[in-house]
């Protein structure tokens, strides 16, 4: 695995030691059991996989290289590099400006961008339409293109499937940067449709099986299908890909649901002609982080803390999983932990910040806290959260690391 050159302040002494130990014990990353960091009266149950993935580290390395290689030049990012406020704020502190916000709203008009400017394409990638605008201006769009290789894998597979006359079903959030980019690329080769969740998958299956009429299809999926989408012909040969930060288990379940409908319509013998196998397009890092979260659910703890940007899709899904068992708090960093009795966190259901009290059990002999973070969260932030909690408990014992099994 490539070792990336990223600023030292993104790394951490505690988490680096945990990850180094697990890498030595399990070099092929087959064991999803969590690590236990003990400080005596406080224990932290740490997910086997979390934090920066390959695509994020690659993007950060390229972004800081762009800063280093272009002193005196104007440097822009199409939108947020990744969904982590600390990373984006640091890039802005180095003079980088954002051309668009995360929803595609223009912050800097295209006519203010010049050919000699440096424009970084973020890890989510971008649409073909945006690439064309930059190319017409004369901007070099390849030197600092940080699009995640696993996102590009989805695009390449979608192109191949489109050339084989498949319609591309994208499991994702229609307004997310990555899904907008994937839709743009797949639409170039094939009819494309975005579905958000299992509920929409079931509704799509009703259309496939003729249980709903054509007119309501265009109304229900308004804004989520490609121009010229033909209800009568474009639901006959399908392939499912995803926004790589979605729950892999949900993508697989959606694929199976659609596969069952296609089998019901065409029969087992004809199924291969109507439904592609796209399991190999799922992002390994998202898959590993989610599998490691299931590993946390095999154990007991007093509470769980998930760390990351509040607009991070993959981080929100980790919260969803942990909420099944633990009281879970979604925070962006240690500054959200005001004191032993109060924490400021994000509610993924109401999409609002909340203030919670009496969070940490202070009067029991030992407290165990689950910790994990999203793919765009630096290990150093996880480190500081652990240190902040240790401050609350007045921890004095040295750290002891072990691996737990169910």
Residues with catalytic function: 178
Contact 217, 207 (CB under 8 A): yes
The Cα 321–Cα 36 span in angstroms is 20
Q: How crowded is the C-beta side of 28, counted as CA atoms within 13 Å?
A: 1
Ramachandran region, residue 228 (left: φ > 0; alpha: ψ -120 to 50; beta: rest): left
DSSP H stretches of helix in 170-283:
177-187, 198-208, 214-220, 248-266
Structural contact between residues 37 and 387, judged by C-beta atoms closer than 8 angstroms: no
DSSP state, residue 384: H
Classify burial at 307, counting beta carbons within 10 Å of its beta carbon; exposed 0-12, middle 13-18, buried 19 or more: buried
Four-point Cα dihedral 241, 247, 251, 257, nearest 10 = -160
> Which pair of structure tokens corresponds to residue 28?
């092929």
Q: For the chain, give me the number of helices (H) and strands (E)?
A: 12, 15
Residue 208 is encoded by which pair of tokens? 């496939």
- Tokens coding 253: 């379940």
Among 121, 118, 99, smallest CA distance to 110 is for: 99
Q: Distance between CA 264 and CA 280 in Å, rounded?
A: 24
262, 238 Cβ separation under 8 angstroms = yes
């Amino acid at each position: 695995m490539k070792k990336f050159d990223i600023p030292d302040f993104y790394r951490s002494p505690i988490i680096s030691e945990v990850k180094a130990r697990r890498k030595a014990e399990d070099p092929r990353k087959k064991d999803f059991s969590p690590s236990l960091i003990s400080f005596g009266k406080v224990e932290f149950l740490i997910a086997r996989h979390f934090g920066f993935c390959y695509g994020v580290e690659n993007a950060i390395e390229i972004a800081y290289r762009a800063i280093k290689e272009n002193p005196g030049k104007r440097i822009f990012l199409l939108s947020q590099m990744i969904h982590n406020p600390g990373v984006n704020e640091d890039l802005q502190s180095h003079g980088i400006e954002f051309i668009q916000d995360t929803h595609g709203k223009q912050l800097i008009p295209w006519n203010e961008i010049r050919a000699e400017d440096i424009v970084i394409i973020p890890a989510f990638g971008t649409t073909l339409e945006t690439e064309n605008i930059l190319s017409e201006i004369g901007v070099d769009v390849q030197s600092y293109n940080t699009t995640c290789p696993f996102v590009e894998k989805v695009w390449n597979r979608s192109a191949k499937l489109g050339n084989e006359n498949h319609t591309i079903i994208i499991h994702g959030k229609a307004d997310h940067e990555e899904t907008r980019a994937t839709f743009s690329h797949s639409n170039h080769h094939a009819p494309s449709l975005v579905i958000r969740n299992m509920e929409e998958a079931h509704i799509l299956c009703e259309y496939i099986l003729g249980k709903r009429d054509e007119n309501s299809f265009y109304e229900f999926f308004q804004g989520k299908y490609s121009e010229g989408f033909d209800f009568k012909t474009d639901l006959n040969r399908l392939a499912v890909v995803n926004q790589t930060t979605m729950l892999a288990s949900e993508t697989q379940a959606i694929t199976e649901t659609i596969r069952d409908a296609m089998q019901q319509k065409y029969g087992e013998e004809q199924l291969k002609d109507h439904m592609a196998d796209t399991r190999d397009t799922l992002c390994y890092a998202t898959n590993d982080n989610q599998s490691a979260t299931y590993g946390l659910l095999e154990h007991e703890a007093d509470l769980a803390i998930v760390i990351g940007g509040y607009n991070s899709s993959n981080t929100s899904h980790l919260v969803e999983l942990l909420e099944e068992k633990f009281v879970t708090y979604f925070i962006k960093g240690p500054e959200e932990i005001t004191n032993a009795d109060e924490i400021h966190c994000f509610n993924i259901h109401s999409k609002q910040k909340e203030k919670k009290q009496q969070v940490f059990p202070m009067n029991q002999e030992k407290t165990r806290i689950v910790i994990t973070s999203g793919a765009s969260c630096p290990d150093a932030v996880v480190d500081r959260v652990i240190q902040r909690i240790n401050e609350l408990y007045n921890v004095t014992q040295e750290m002891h690391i072990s691996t737990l099994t169910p």
